[in-house]
Amino acid sequence: MGPLAGIKVVELAGIGPGPFCATLLADMGAEVLRIDRTEESGLGIASDPKFMLLNRSRRSAAVDLKKPEGVEAVLRLVEQADALIEGFRPGVMERLGLGPEVCLARNPKLVYGRMTGFGQDGPLAHAAGHDLNYIALAGVLHAIGREGAPPTPPLNLVGDFGGGGMFLAFGVLAGLLEADRSGRGQVIDAAMSEGSAYLATSIYGLFAAGLWKDERASNFIDSGAHFYDVYETKDGKYVSIASIEPKFYAELLQRAGLDNEDLPKQSERDKWPEMKERLAEVFKRKTREEWCAIMEGTDVCFAPVLSLGEVVDYPHNKARASFIEIDGVAQPAPAPRFSRTKPEVQRPPAGRGQHTREALGDWGFSTDEIAALEGAGAVQQN
């Protein structure tokens, strides 16, 4: 059983950061019940549920929230829950009759987690957006990219998952700890734009101190420096170098065969472009595998750039069981690790409404009540 065993969470189905937050909580042992729509919502990314990895570790009940019986059923679940998480635009849950005031009236100790792009208030609160827009407003997108090129979208890892789902999970857990002391719940307003900015706190500190330039690829960890970048190898693959500290940089030069050359000092910024060209030329002389044999496991701060198809079989990942396979689908294992209460994937991703009867029964609904809800079209077993 994971460290969150015994915690009960109601999840209002959404996409991206909300489900990721639910996955984090469920992988850690919480009992998370996903409330899906009774009709196909278009929120899926694959026809087979087993590929929708952000739905793993929890059951799904399909509920029609347009019907008062469906809303009442969710409120009965809320009465028993420790937390609720939702990712709708501001006001949607209130219009459904499931807003914070209603839910906290039913369960004063409830932690009510809300996920939006721009927050519950402010000029942009009701505007549509996606990860790229949120990190753009946070100043993060501007800082990512190559010299002379536009900002580079870092997938949707920074806004949706780092600044979004991860921060919502953090907020919910903090709220649960406080509710355990005070006996009172509260609302968690998690805005992806603010979470993304929070991730860049150290960069803002460097910028304020005059140690970070506001131009892309001109700093020590944004591809501006030759000792913190990726380089192509002879076979068209790539390796990553992060030799920031002087002793690590010295080892990089030694293992790259450059330690006997008359080179500029590591700190000479005006020489960084010249040194980058030099290192690029050196790394092109050998294959990625050959460079791994020379640098892997050393203090160079080196790693091969692995593709999604390579990570599962990489020796370190295999030794740590960093990836698991469920129903033939390779996926990241729950993290972090605990010495006593081991987290684990509780079940494969659920199909929409796959567990409606089972889950409602376990949450205290009688067989007759479930049948009545089905008869009214308020819930659906798929």
Active site residues per annotation: 130, 160
Angle at which helix 288-295 crosses helix 246-255, to 10 degrees, equals 130
CA dihedral 2, 7, 11, 17 (to 10 degrees): -50
Q: What does DSSP say about strands 59-63 and 8-12: parallel, antiparallel, or unpaired?
A: unpaired
Enumerate the β-bridge partners of residue 34.
11, 60
Residue in 20, 29, 53, 25 with CA at minimum distance from that of residue 328: 53
Per-position DSSP letters for 282-314, written without gaps between them = HHTTS-HHHHHHHHTTSTT-EEE---TTTGGG-
Report CA 170 to chain centroid distance, whole Å: 12
CA distance 317 to 333: 10
Burial of 95 (0-12, 13-18, 19+ CB in 10 A): exposed
Burial of 39 (0-12, 13-18, 19+ CB in 10 A): exposed
Instruction: Supply 341's token pair.
Output: 């209460």
CA dihedral 13, 351, 162, 192 (to 10 degrees): -20
Per-position DSSP letters for 314-367, written without gaps between them = -HHHHHHT-EEEETTEEEEPP-S--SSS-----SPPPPTTTTHHHHHHHTT--H
Strand order in the sheet with 228-232: 228-232, 238-242, 302-304
Give the other-Cβ count within 10 Å of 320's Cβ: 12
CA distance 279 to 320: 32
Instruction: Supply 376's token pair.
Output: 């009214």
CA distance 132 to 153: 7
Is residue 44 within a helix (H) or strand (E), and if so which, with residue range? none
